[in-house]
A and B are shown apart, each in its own frame.
Chain A
Amino acid sequence: MSAIIDVRNLTKTFGAFAAVKDVSFEVEAGGIFAFLGPNGAGKSTTIKMLTTVLRPTSGTIRIDGFDPVTQSHQVRRSFGIVFQDPSLDDMLTARENMDFHGVLYDISRAARRERIEQLLNFVELWDRRNSLVRDFSGGMKRRLEIARGLMHHPKIIFLDEPTLGLDPQTRNHMWQYLQELNAKNGTTVFFTTHYMEEAERIARRIAVIDRGTIIASGSADELKTQTKTESLEDAFLTLTGHSIREEEGTNLDRMRRIRGMMR
């Protein structure tokens, strides 16, 4: 088994607060990996470090064999990402946003034209291709971001809560597309979600992170067996034990969780 993502003892602190603590995990090439955890657990922070936009405090990361800190260019060539937060230029049209992306990722003009039409149709925005993103609804913006993220065909695709705010049709559509991409091109898929049934259905491996630490990993079945539960949702709740933690959580923990929810 060759790991395309290899994380060892990864830590990230913001001031005195450790958002990610001594995290280690691997994702095999061609795998579909779900990174689960409550709000503020450290999922996005980890993804930012894997995708070169945040420097780790300590630990090592290898993405397709390269180090995001010292070999950021090679790392950037190997992945695509759909961020959790908005990342569109709202003074550009849908098509211009796509085209901008396509040029940055060095896709030929002909391929760009073809894929933009295909993907905008796919997320049902083709009719609105010449509208400024400013005038889009939240869900439409999200769909455009998904379409843009699928435009080039990297070895790894990171999706940070991609389905947040998407209608069920688009959600199913998107997973189907990703599964096809995974089967056909061997694209590794790394995603986070708060929809447990989604993770259970799509992911072949799962890691659960809570308060910056990975507390369990394995397939959905393994997690269910381990926690003696019937569904991944129950397994997740058992593992992250909300009610228990509320009692023993320090003030700081509570504040942190509230902050995490607001961002």
Chain B
Amino acid sequence: MNAVYILWLRQFKRYIRSPARLVASLAQPMMFLIALGFGLGSIFARAGQGSYIQFLVPGIVAMSIIFSSIFSGMEMLWDRQFGFLKETLVAPVPRFAIMLGRVAGGATTAMIQGAIVLVISLAFGFRPNNWLVVPEALAVMLLISLLFSAFGMVVGSKMTDMQAFPLIMNFIVMPLFFLSGAMFPLRGLPKAMLVVATADPLSYGVDALRQLLIGTSHFGLPLDIAVLSGLTLALLFLGSYFFSRMEV
């Protein structure tokens, strides 16, 4: 358990020691809020869907979480390149503890990013339906962070060099984000598109956040939570298996 804690602490320290990373990672969500929130807002309202900012913010929060989570998985490549990975791999610590510690570290930073975006979105006019559910929304954000940090570690543990990073971004992370319903309602989608969105785990994260923050949901909160936690657990085990197979 101490090992999990120290692995978490290490990642947290690295995060707070690189403020540039924090600032840079906020730029993208801001851009989406401005361009989409203001740019598409009037069309969305004219289509009778209500306020687009209200609808969009949970999606953008989820976006900043997934990007930040994946990034922490990619830090594994960094650790491999700079050699620190060896130090963890030879330690007499169960691989599940290593996975847990790293995922907890990645998820913590991702969740902080998400929370910052949520706060910033208030300046764009976003208001949760009910302030009392904000803690629950934060819990869901943590769950999404855990899921995608675990996913990031699984991917990171399989990669051996930085070259694959753009591939991961363009062929996994971007599709996960764009097809998740983060930016559009799932209701009334073409059939094929709906199937894809239903298979995208991020859809359930966005959906859960919408349920809590603005009171609309496609799948329903229980299903959302079940999918998110089930997948997280599965990825934690898969990741520790990959860790046990890892070579330097």
Contacts and interface: CB of A to CB of B under 8 A. Distances in A.
Interface of A: 48, 51-55, 72-73, 76-77, 79, 81, 83, 85-92, 96, 99-101, 103-106, 132
A53 B18 contact: no
A92 B13 contact: yes
B39 interface: no
Contacts of A54: 247-248
A86 B83 contact: yes
A87 B246 CA distance: 16
A55 to B, nearest CB: 6
Given A48-B248, A99-B6, A100-B6, A105 B91 contact: yes
B42 to A, nearest CB: 45
B86 A53 contact: yes
14 contacts: A53-B247, A73-B94, A79-B90, A86-B83, A87-B84, A87-B86, A88-B84, A91-B18, A103-B3, A104-B3, A104-B93, A105-B91, A106-B2, A132-B17
A87 B87 contact: yes
Interface string B58-98: 00000000000000000000010011101111111110000
Given A54-B248, A103-B3, A104-B3, A96 B86 contact: no
A243 to B, nearest CB: 35
Contacts, number: 74
A86 B247 contact: no
A104 B10 contact: no
Given A52-B90, A88-B87, A89-B79, 11 more contacts: A52-B89, A53-B90, A76-B92, A85-B83, A87-B84, A87-B86, A96-B13, A99-B6, A100-B87, A104-B87, A105-B91
B108 to A, nearest CB: 16
B40 to A, nearest CB: 40
B99 to A, nearest CB: 14
B243 to A, nearest CB: 11
A193 B136 CA distance: 58
